[in-house]
Structure 1
Amino acid sequence: MKIRKLIGEDAEVYWNLRLEALQQNPEAFATTYEDAISRLNPLKRVASNLDAIEAATIGVFIDNDLVGIMTIAEEAAPKLRHRLNLFAVYVTPRVRGKQIGSALLHAVIDHAKELPHVEKINLTVVSTNIQAIRLYEKAGFIAFGIEQHAMKTGDTYVDEVYMSLEW
């Protein structure tokens, strides 16, 4: 297993895993698979995002195959620069249950702690994703609220739990 920050050259493997995530767990993401594939030049945009200074996407590779991703992004407003937002989290089903998510999350936290102005990480997680909530709690995240009906697909609503880790 190799964990590292993704760069623009990783755009294609990232994009393929992102599309898998949108198909496998559509309830967990605000973006739909259909929205994603309809974008013009997605690889160019993904490469630019992966090279952005204000964000970092950390990936886990097994045998040169990208199997997990997490993105953290800084806030732009000066009063919010002490915090990061964690999003776009996904581990492919074939490696779930093998502590990949835990290793990835700890690498993300370590990366965040290297940023001198950062003091906390915020995230939201679908309230029915008990495994993810437990993963975040084991890493020290604390729930501080629930947004009911945070997302809606057709007539189905999904609630999200807001969580934070401070140091």
Structure 2
Amino acid sequence: MTAERCTTRGKIRHTMGMNFRELNPSDAAAYWNVRLEALETEREAFGKAPEEFRVLSVEDMATRLRDMSDGSFCMGGFDGEALIGIATFIRETRVKEQHKAHIYGVYVKASHRGRGVGRALMQQVLDRARPQAGLDHILLAVATTNTTAFELYRSLGFETWGTEPHALRVGDKFVDEHQMVLRLR
């Protein structure tokens, strides 16, 4: 059963005992820590290296969360007060690209994997994105080696439109990425 209540920046949704809501500047420290954990533990899954991320401060994160463009947001999954999952939705702002958006940085802490948190988090992102006027499709990329995430995205309706060879270089290893799209209209 899903319970909902309004907050100042959207809705908090309670699913499976977890809370899902848009992150705000007061979540910056928790977001910074979870994002760093993601970059350190899943090096092949993200384009940013941990050392690049560490130069950003918690205050930088608060500013980013506060100053996101219209239609863009970071969604967080919480177990009680603890942030355990993140996903970022970025709506394009240029006139010729406003019909599309991207999902970046999807991550669920290892302690909460296998419980449907990733699916619920992605569903929250898609539910918030779908009603946006003029949004035609949503894009994301996933490492070809990350079969769990790939299958999750496929089950949510994303289709592979191409595969970028050597999309990332992690040390001496190259990582290919599936480019995926969810058509909304």
Q: If the TM-score is normalised by the length of the shorter chain, which range does it land in?
A: over 0.9
The whole-number CA distance in structure 2 between the counterparts of 1:19 and 1:44 is: 15
- Match for residue 4 of structure 1 among 21, 28, 32: 21
Aligned pair 1:99/2:133, yes or no? no
1:58 corresponds to: 75
2:137 corresponds to: 120
Aligned-pair CA distance for 1:114? 2.3
In the alignment, structure 2 segments of 5+ residues that lack a partner are 1-17
Structure 1 segments of 4 or more deviating over 2 A?
Answer: none
Assess if the C-alpha contact under 8 Å between 2:69 and 2:93 holds in 1. no
Assess if the C-alpha contact under 8 Å between 2:119 and 2:152 holds in 1. yes
1:138 corresponds to: 155
Aligned-pair CA distance for 1:153? 2.1
The whole-number CA distance in structure 2 between the counterparts of 1:125 and 1:146 is: 9
In the alignment, structure 1 segments of 5+ residues that lack a partner are none
Q: Secondary structure at the residue paired with 2:165?
A: strand
Aligned-pair CA distance for 1:57? 0.3
* Equivalent position amino acid for 1:10 in 2: D
Aligned-pair CA distance for 1:22? 0.9
2:4 corresponds to: none
Q: Secondary structure at the residue paired with 2:44?
A: helix
Between the two proteins, the alignment pairs up a number of residues equal to 165
Aligned pair 1:14/2:31, yes or no? yes
Relative to the length of structure 1, the TM-score reads 0.95
Give per-residue Cα distances to partners, 1:120-153, cap 9 Å, x unaligned.
1100001100000000001000000000000112
- Match for residue 43 of structure 1 among 31, 55, 58: 58
* Equivalent position amino acid for 2:69 in 1: I
The whole-number CA distance in structure 2 between the counterparts of 1:131 and 1:24 is: 16
The whole-number CA distance in structure 1 between the counterparts of 2:171 and 2:32 is: 26
